[in-house]
Amino acid sequence: MISFSIGRNLVHQLIFAIAKYYDSKSIQLMIKVY
């Protein structure tokens, strides 16, 4: 049970990091376009 919650937390942090990375990349792309 504890290991399962830790795994979910790691997956959540990974998805959050990827989302932040793609957000910054898309923002840079929009700046280049404009």
Q: How far apart are CA 24 and CA 14, in angstroms?
A: 15
pTM for the model stands at 0.51
What pLDDT is recorded for position 34? 63
pLDDT digits (tens, 9 = 90+) for 6-33: 888 898 898 888 888 888 888 787 777 7
What pLDDT is recorded for position 27? 77
Q: How far apart are CA 18 and CA 6, in angstroms?
A: 18
What pLDDT is recorded for position 15? 87
What pLDDT is recorded for position 19? 84
DSSP 2: H
